[in-house]
Amino acid sequence: MLKIKTPASTSNLGPGFDCLGLALDLYNSFDVDLSEEDELIGVDEAFNNENNLFLKAYHLGMKQIGLDDHVRVSFHTAVPVSRGLGSSSTLIVGGLLAASALHNDALDKDHIFQLAAMMEGHPDNAAPCVYGGFCASFRDEEGNFFTRILTFSEDFKITLFIPDFEVETANARRILPDVYPRKIAVANASKAILTVKALVDGDLELLKKCAKDELHEPYRRTLISEYDEVKKLFIKDTDGVFLISGSGSTCIGISKDYFEESSALSALKHHWQVKEVSFTNKGAMAYEV
Q: How far is the CB of 23 from ligand HSE (least distance, A)?
A: 14
Nearer to ligand HSE, 52 or 250 (CB): 250
Measured on CA atoms in the order 93, 99, 104, 108, is the torsion positive or negative?
negative
Nearer to ligand HSE, 12 or 114 (CB): 12
Q: What distance in Å separates the CA atoms of residue 128 and residue 91, rounded to the nearest whole number?
A: 13
Q: How far is the CB of 117 from ligand HSE (least distance, A)?
A: 11
Rounded to the nearest 5°, which phi and psi values hold at 233?
-65, -40
Q: How far is the CB of 227 from ligand HSE (least distance, A)?
A: 15
Count the Cβ atoms, other than its own, within 10 Å of residue 166. 16
How large is the angle between the packed helices 53-65 and 87-101, nearest 10 degrees? 40
Nearer to ligand HSE, 179 or 289 (CB): 179
Nearer to ligand HSE, 62 or 254 (CB): 254
Q: What distance in Å separates the CA atoms of residue 222 and residue 208, rounded to the nearest whole number?
A: 22
Nearest-CA neighbor of 87 among 129, 46, 136?
Answer: 129
Nearer to ligand HSE, 87 or 159 (CB): 87
Q: How far is the CB of 205 from ligand HSE (least distance, A)?
A: 26
Nearer to ligand HSE, 207 or 215 (CB): 215
Pairing between strand 20-35 and 39-41? Answer: unpaired
Q: List residues binding ligand HSE (CB under 6 A).
A: 11-12, 17-18, 122, 124-125, 169, 172-173, 216, 246-247
Q: How far is the CB of 246 from ligand HSE (least distance, A)?
A: 4
Nearer to ligand HSE, 167 or 286 (CB): 167
Q: How far is the CB of 50 from ligand HSE (least distance, A)?
A: 22
Q: How far is the CB of 85 from ligand HSE (least distance, A)?
A: 9
Q: What distance in Å separates the CA atoms of residue 127 and residue 287, rounded to the nearest whole number?
A: 20
Cα→Cα distances 258→12, 103, 138, 274, Å:
21, 44, 32, 10
Q: What distance in Å separates the CA atoms of residue 168 and residue 227, rounded to the nearest whole number?
A: 16
H/E segment holding residue 234? helix 227-238
Pairing between strand 70-76 and 39-41? Answer: parallel
Q: What distance in Å separates the CA atoms of residue 8 and residue 128, rounded to the nearest whole number?
A: 8
